[in-house]
Structure 1
Amino acid sequence: MEGFIHSSSIMMHFSKLPDPRKARNQLDSLHDIISTSILAMLCGQDDYMGFSLWTQMNLDWLQSVNICKYGAPSHDTYERFFAFLNPHSFRTCFMQWTQSIAQAFGGDSIAIDGKTLCGSGNKTIDPIHMVSAFASEQSLVLGHLKCSGKGKELETIQSLLTILNIKGVFVTIDAAGCHKIVVEQICSQGGDYVIALKGNQGHLHAEAHNFFEQAQNVIPEEASCDYWRSEKCTRGRSEIREVWATEKLDWLPQRQIWKKLHSLICVKVQKKSQERNSCEIRYFISSLPANTERLAKEVRNHWSIENKLHWQLDVNFREDLSRVRKGNGAENLSIARRATLNLLQKDKTSKVSLRKRRFIASCRKDYLLDLVNAKEILHA
Structure 2
Amino acid sequence: MIAAKRLSCRELFSMSSSSRASIQEHFADLTDPRTRKVTYPLVNIVTMSLCAVLGGADDFVAITDWAEDKKEWLSQFLDMSTGVPSHDRFNAILGALKPAEFEKCLLSWITSLQEITDGQIIAIDGKTLRRSFDAASSKAAIHMVSAWATANHVSLGQVATDAKSNEITAIPKLLEIIEVSGCLVTIDAMGCQKEIAAKIVNAGGDYCLAIKGNQRYLHQAIRDHFAAAMEIDFAKMKVHRHETHEKGHGREESRYYYLCPIDADDFPYASRWTKLKAIGMTINIVKQNGKETSEVRYYIVSKYLTGKRFAEAVRGHWSIENSLHWQLDVTFGEDQSRIRKGHADVNFSLLRRTSLSLLKNNKTAKVGVKNKRLKAGRNDAYLLEVLLGT
Q: TM-score, normalised by structure 1?
A: 0.92
In structure 1, the residue matched to 2:5 is none
Q: Within 1, Cα distance between the matches of 2:113 and 2:76?
A: 29
1:368 aligns with 2:380: no
Q: 1:299 aligns with which of 314, 317, 336?
A: 314
CA change 1:160–1:22 in 2 (3 A) is same
Q: 2:39 aligns with which of 27, 38, 41?
A: 27
1:119 aligns with 2:131: yes
Report the secondary structure of 1:50's partner residue: helix
Report the secondary structure of 2:92's partner residue: helix
In structure 2, the residue matched to 1:181 is 195
Q: Within 2, Cα distance between the matches of 1:71 and 1:297?
A: 49
Q: 2:252 aligns with which of 222, 235, 238?
A: 238
In structure 2, the residue matched to 1:172 is 186
Question: Deviation per CA, 1:107-159, whole angstroms, max 9, x where unpaired?
Answer: 52111111111111144221111111111110101111112420221222112
In structure 1, the residue matched to 2:120 is 108
In structure 1, the residue matched to 2:105 is 93
Alignment of 1:136-155 (within 5 A): 136-155=150-169
Q: Within 2, Cα distance between the matches of 1:243 and 1:105?
A: 24
Alignment of 1:1-380 (within 5 A): 5-6=13-14, 8-24=21-37, 26-103=38-115, 105-123=117-135, 124-222=138-236, 224-249=238-263, 250-274=265-289, 277-289=292-304, 291-373=306-388
Return 127-136 or 222-231, whichever deviates more: 222-231
1:317 Cα deviation after fit: 0.7
Count residues in correspondence. 373
CA change 1:290–1:354 in 2 (3 A) is closer
Return 310-319 or 158-167, whichever deviates more: 158-167
Question: Deviation per CA, 1:17-51, whole angstroms, max 9, x where unpaired?
Answer: 11111332x22221221111111111111110100
Q: Within 1, Cα distance between the matches of 2:305 and 2:384?
A: 46
Q: Contact 1:10–1:372 (CA<8 Å) still a contact in 2?
A: no
Q: Within 2, Cα distance between the matches of 1:288 and 1:348?
A: 34
Letter in 2 for 1:46: D
1:67 Cα deviation after fit: 4.2
Letter in 1 for 2:344: G
Q: Within 2, Cα distance between the matches of 1:181 and 1:188?
A: 10
Letter in 2 for 1:367: Y
Q: Within 2, Cα distance between the matches of 1:62 and 1:165?
A: 34
Q: Contact 2:94–2:343 (CA<8 Å) still a contact in 1?
A: yes
Report the secondary structure of 1:372's partner residue: helix
CA change 1:3–1:215 in 2 (3 A) is closer
Q: Contact 1:111–1:301 (CA<8 Å) still a contact in 2?
A: yes
In structure 1, the residue matched to 2:4 is none
Q: TM-score, normalised by structure 2?
A: 0.90
Q: Contact 2:376–2:383 (CA<8 Å) still a contact in 1?
A: yes
Q: Within 2, Cα distance between the matches of 1:104 and 1:198?
A: 31
Q: Contact 1:98–1:142 (CA<8 Å) still a contact in 2?
A: no
Return 152-161 or 301-310, whichever deviates more: 152-161
1:280 Cα deviation after fit: 1.2
CA change 1:344–1:11 in 2 (3 A) is farther
1:276 Cα deviation after fit: 5.2
1:92 Cα deviation after fit: 1.9
Q: Contact 2:276–2:300 (CA<8 Å) still a contact in 1?
A: yes
Q: Contact 2:118–2:183 (CA<8 Å) still a contact in 1?
A: no
Letter in 2 for 1:323: R
Letter in 1 for 2:300: I
Question: Deviation per CA, 1:255-311, whole angstroms, max 9, x where unpaired?
Answer: 111111111100111112228542111100001215222101111111111111111
Identity %: 36
Report the secondary structure of 1:267's partner residue: strand
In structure 1, the residue matched to 2:7 is none
CA change 1:311–1:136 in 2 (3 A) is same
Contiguous gaps of at least 5 residues in structure 1: 376-380
